Structure 1
Amino acid sequence: MNYLKSLLPWIAFAVVATQFDWRWSGLTGLAISTGLLLLARRAGRKADTLILEWSGFAFFALLTAVAFTFPASPLKTYTGALTDAWLALTAWGSLAIGQPFTLGIARTTTPETLWGNPIFRRVNVVITLVWAISFTVGGLAGIALLNFAPHATAALIALKVVCFAVPVAFTIRYPRIVRARAAA
């Protein structure tokens, strides 16, 4: 599941954020993003497979700079929701420019003969759309929870899990469903 590797900086950020100050969680995300980009360059991966990695690098570089420059910034409270909002912008942006972020990732495990197939492209548009919606819901609901129930830690964690698990499950199942329909 190549998506999970691409989301590793975001997952590590969330884990570290529960134990340490936002400066260190931002720095952790930045270090992992940088490492993934260096490994991808060494492996010769194409740019279209690295949309999430570059997005993560940009987000964590910006977040780390703000966190170390203004450690008491009000943004500190919203970092979890901001990660979802940034990922939502990444997903929506990739759809807007006609390059769904899942397309490049899917090409790494799909035979090249299928890349031009409109169904292959449509599957990736739909998968990216599900991720975009999930990130949007997570970001907006996270901001709302932090505003109205800032100590509802269990609800915030549950929201993160659901907004991650739903698109992961969809990403796994939807292509199988499409292949089964095509075979029938």
Structure 2
Amino acid sequence: MNYLKSLFPWIAFAVVATQFDWRWSGLTGLVISAALLLLARRDGRKADTLIIEWSGFAFFTLLTAVAFSFPASPLKTYTGALTDAWLALTAWGSLAIGQPFTLGIARTSTPAALWDNPLFKRVNVVITLVWAASFTVGGIAGIALLNFAPHATFALIALKVLCFAVPVAFTIRYPRIVRARAAA
């Protein structure tokens, strides 16, 4: 469940965005991202466990700067979809450089003896692919919904929930399935 802590700024941003102006939701994400990075530094966490935290810090820094500088920007409408698109870029980018963002997180709860196991690495590539695909679908579908059905609030919320719930469930179940197959 370490990955949920990494996603907390994004979740808090989404919750605050439903109640307050985008400036405050962006600032909320930024403050939480910064706090997570400070706590991680204090705890001595390695850089490979912080890919999502650093990505969030960068995103929320940019978003907050834009939101406070140009509060009426048309980007305001698309912030929810932009978060998914940014996370998709982060996930795809981590795969492109051979460091799936889930790998560092998985190492925090996996014995070091398994870290170099090709199956361990493959499981994390697959899990990161699922996250990347989910974020990509969320970003594209979110932009489409906002363009063609901007008042479809329930659909937008359901999309956001699904884009987190599906990869969370997969992240929990898939390693168990792989372990069971390996043991058989």
Q: Which bracket does the TM-score occupy, shorter chain normalised?
A: over 0.9
- CA deviations 1:108-143 (Å, max 9, x no partner) are 000000000000000000000000000000000000
- CA deviations 1:150-175 (Å, max 9, x no partner) are 00000000000111100000000000
CA distance in 1, matches of 2:46, 2:30: 21
| CA RMSD between the two structures | 0.2
CA distance in 1, matches of 2:76, 2:8: 21
Look up the SS of the partner of 1:62 in the other structure. Answer: helix
CA distance in 1, matches of 2:39, 2:161: 28
CA distance in 1, matches of 2:146, 2:2: 31
Count of aligned pairs between the two proteins: 184
Q: 1:3 Cα shift?
A: 0.6
Q: 1:25 Cα shift?
A: 0.0
**Matched residue, 1:151:** 151
- CA deviations 1:77-127 (Å, max 9, x no partner) are 000000000000000000000000000000000000000000000000000
CA distance in 2, matches of 1:181, 1:43: 35
- CA deviations 1:11-46 (Å, max 9, x no partner) are 000000000000000000000000000000000000
TM-score normalised by structure 2 residue count: 1.00
Q: 1:51 Cα shift?
A: 0.1
- CA deviations 1:44-99 (Å, max 9, x no partner) are 00000000000000000000000000000000000000000000000000000000
Gaps of 5+ in 2: none
CA distance in 2, matches of 1:162, 1:30: 24
- Consecutive aligned runs of 4 or more in structure 1 exceeding 4 Å deviation: none
Q: 1:9 Cα shift?
A: 0.1
Q: 1:177 Cα shift?
A: 0.2
Percent identical among aligned pairs is 90
Gaps of 5+ in 1: none
